[in-house]
Amino acid sequence: MSENEVKNSAEAQYSASSIQVLEGLEAVRKRPSMYIGDIGERGLHHLVYEVVDNSIDEALAGFCTHIEVTINEDNSITVRDNGRGIPTGMHEKEHKSALEVVLTVLHAGGKFSKDSYKVSGGLHGVGVSCVNALSDYLKAEIHREGKVFIQEYSKGKPTSDVRIAGDAEDTGTIISFHPDPEIFTVTTVYKYDTLAARLRELAYLNKGIKLTLTDRREKLIDDNGNPTGEFRNDVFYSREGLKEFVNYLDGGAEKLIESPIYLETDKIIPIEIAMQYNTGFSEKIYSYVNNINTIEGGTHLQGFKMGLTRTLKNYADKNNLLSKLKFDLAADDFREGLTAVISVKVAEPQFEGQTKTKLGNGEVVSAVSQATASALEAYLEENPKEARAIVDKVILAATARHAARKAREMVQRKTVMSGAGMPGKLADCSLRDPEKCELFLVEGDSAGGTAKQGRDRMTQAILPLRGKILNVEKAMEHRVFESEEIRNIYTALGVTVGTEDDHKALNLSKLRYHKVIIMTDADVDGSHIATLILTFFFRYMLDLIRNGYVYLATPPLYLVKKGKEEIYCWTDDERRAATEKLGKGTDKGVTVQRYKGLGEMSDVQLWETTMDPSRRLLRQVTIDNAAEAERTFSMLMGDDVPPRREFIEQNAHYANVDA
């Protein structure tokens, strides 16, 4: 059956009568954060994801193969797909077009009709109507039934009736919208890389679907620095799905097995899993339900871990590979060095947890566990050499865990002591309220001394770090806890690590500072040290980042000076503007000082530019896309040089790279 025939056969199932209404749209503009998370940068990008999710639902149903996302010159967004097109006929209950119902009524959509969609992602029908409510302009253009239908809206209300604008030979939906600046007061500027990360993720999770991203605000530049006339553009397409996703996530890691272990079932609960072992020491498992990243895990992740642990343990016992091991294995040992992606499609998912991203469907546990066990058993039997390498890796992980226990206990004992147990180099603050206190992690004793003199002693603590801290991406766990600099960070923060169930769990109940600020030199070495610290936080203190406690200080790059006039500059553009401003109508007696180290500033200058809460610029470290962050840390801190070089070349204009 051709694509058009498939679409035509479904028309009777997906029409105006398919659209079911649950409730109204009144609260969205009053409480937007309830529906999109926040009204900052994250919520702004979430609008795009909601529209794209509708197109992905069409793809999951088998009626869409191509989704195009365009960032327009005015920071509006256009999302186009080649699906069936939103129905435009009259809705019996609402007495208006089904298109208008979908775009103006909360919880209205085809995904509530089992005949229209078997599974769907997004926020369960609130998506496109929320986008409409939070946009000062939205245009829906529908191609179906041989016609082009158009309707326009503002702030969730139609400004025109549905009208026929011409004939159409294709089918599909085109949604264009501009975020309402009355709602998004922080920013209405879209970040290309943020959208690209999500579209890349969706391409891996939905193999065979092409997603295109175009930025009409930015024209490409050739090697000679001349504009090419073409816009920045990327096409995301995956033929092998999660296999390619795992290889992408592993970045620069050295593989332990040649190719990922893969399974795909299409039973009552469709399951797709890819897993790859590497020689590293991190566990990297990402789980998805209907394309939603379940950051809190849930029953599908539980089933995967059960199937993995049981199968590997049974294989090792059967082949007498654990005979020389003098202690019991822990479940964590089976996942060290593992990169895995689990994707399940559930018809009626039940979400739990603080952020509603934890799957609660009980029937999923056994389905995923059995599928994992079956695929892994077959792989181990057919690949004895790789099987032995995996078991040896598990034994090594167990041995390292036992070695790390003593080092970790030393950290624990030191942390629970009174102030006398604090690191000698820590210059603590006098307040004891964590919400008002901040800790600066500073590169070296020289900068540390300047920061100690310039700080607010009431609320600001300083911990100088000696040189480059350990690269935890390449270090076994016991070496991490044996590192003096890392032990000092644990002790200063007051956090403890490890429980009976999870020896890497972080306890933040006695955290002493709610702002942990990485303050390093504005040069290549400083960026490297900041990346090493962030890698440590990402691998061993992820909850610190998730709770919004980690920040990067932004010291100025330049001081432009003429006589008694001084202007601090953070970018080259600011430096040029300041030089021009101070040099106008004079003989160019302007001096420019490039700050390569924090120690080059006086304590007063460091306070005024970088530490004073009323004037400084702090960048909060967040994780919008955990899988993309995983890939970046693995690539930057791993052993494989080419991907790292490519990343640096592509992002050189963001970095402060000195000759």
Average pLDDT of the residues in 476-481: 83
Q: Is the pLDDT of residue 578 over 70?
A: yes
Distance set, CA 347 to CA 290, 291, 430, 481 (Å): 9, 12, 55, 45
Q: Is the pLDDT of residue 10 over 70?
A: no
Going by pLDDT thresholds of 50, 70 and 90, the confidence category of residue 147 is very high
Q: Is the pLDDT of residue 251 over 70?
A: yes
Going by pLDDT thresholds of 50, 70 and 90, the confidence category of residue 3 is low
Q: What is the DSSP letter of 348?
A: S
CA pair distance 440, 455, nearest whole angstrom = 10
Q: What is the pLDDT of residue 142?
A: 96
**Cα dihedral: 53, 54, 59, 65 (round 10):** -90
- DSSP E strands: which ranges in 196-270? 210-221, 227-236, 261-265
CB contact at 8 A, 337 and 397? yes
Average pLDDT, the chain: 85
Higher-scoring residue by pLDDT: 393, 599: 393
Distance set, CA 622 to CA 124, 149, 421, 543 (Å): 25, 41, 31, 11
Q: Is the pLDDT of residue 431 over 70?
A: yes
Q: What is the pLDDT of residue 659?
A: 28
Q: Is the pLDDT of residue 587 over 70?
A: no
CA pair distance 142, 71, nearest whole angstrom = 20
Q: What is the pLDDT of residue 1?
A: 52
Decide: residue 340, CB within 10 A, 0-12 exposed, 13-18 middle, 19+ buried: buried
Q: Is the pLDDT of residue 90 over 60?
A: yes
Q: 624-653 as b/e, with b when 16 or more CB fall inside 10 Å? A: ebbbbbbbbbbbbbbeeeebbeebeeeeee
Average pLDDT of the residues in 454-480: 88
Domain 417-545 CATH (choose: 1.10.1740.10, 3.40.50.670, 3.40.50.300, 3.40.50.1100): 3.40.50.670
Q: Is the pLDDT of residue 393 over 70?
A: yes
3-state secondary structure of 559: strand
Q: Is the pLDDT of residue 655 over 60?
A: no
Q: Is the pLDDT of residue 372 over 90?
A: yes
Q: What is the pLDDT of residue 179?
A: 96
Q: Is the pLDDT of residue 648 over 70?
A: no
Going by pLDDT thresholds of 50, 70 and 90, the confidence category of residue 124 is very low
Average pLDDT of the residues in 529-546: 89
304 closest CA partner among 329, 331, 330, 280? 331
CA pair distance 107, 494, nearest whole angstrom = 45
Q: What is the pLDDT of residue 22?
A: 45
Q: What is the pLDDT of residue 7?
A: 55
Average pLDDT of the residues in 447-471: 91
* In the chain, where the domains are located: 3-236, 242-399, 417-545, 558-594
- Please give the positions annotated as active site: 443, 521, 523, 525
* CATH architecture group of domain 3-236: 2-Layer Sandwich (3.30)
CB contact at 8 A, 81 and 58? yes
Average pLDDT of the residues in 325-332: 85
339 closest CA partner among 400, 390, 396, 267? 390
Q: Is the pLDDT of residue 505 over 80?
A: no
Going by pLDDT thresholds of 50, 70 and 90, the confidence category of residue 468 is confident
Write out the two tokens for 350: 């039940």
Q: What is the pLDDT of residue 423?
A: 72
Q: What is the pLDDT of residue 517?
A: 96
| Sign, Cα dihedral of 395, 397, 399, 401 | negative
CA pair distance 149, 129, nearest whole angstrom = 18
Average pLDDT of the residues in 80-96: 87
Q: Over pLDDT 90: what percentage of the chain?
A: 47
Q: What is the pLDDT of residue 420?
A: 45
- 173-231 per-position pLDDT tens digit: 999 999 999 999 889 999 999 999 999 999 999 999 999 999 999 888 877 778 888 99
Q: Is the pLDDT of residue 116 over 60?
A: no
Q: Is the pLDDT of residue 615 over 70?
A: yes
CATH no., domain 242-399: 3.30.230.10
Q: What is the pLDDT of residue 271?
A: 95
Q: What is the pLDDT of residue 195?
A: 95
Average pLDDT of the residues in 61-68: 94
Higher-scoring residue by pLDDT: 627, 10: 627
When mean pLDDT is compared across 138-152, 335-349, 644-658, the lowest value belongs to 644-658
Q: Is the pLDDT of residue 125 over 50?
A: no
User: Taking each helix axis from N to C terminus, what angle separates 192-205 and 242-250, rounded to the nearest 10 degrees?
Assistant: 130
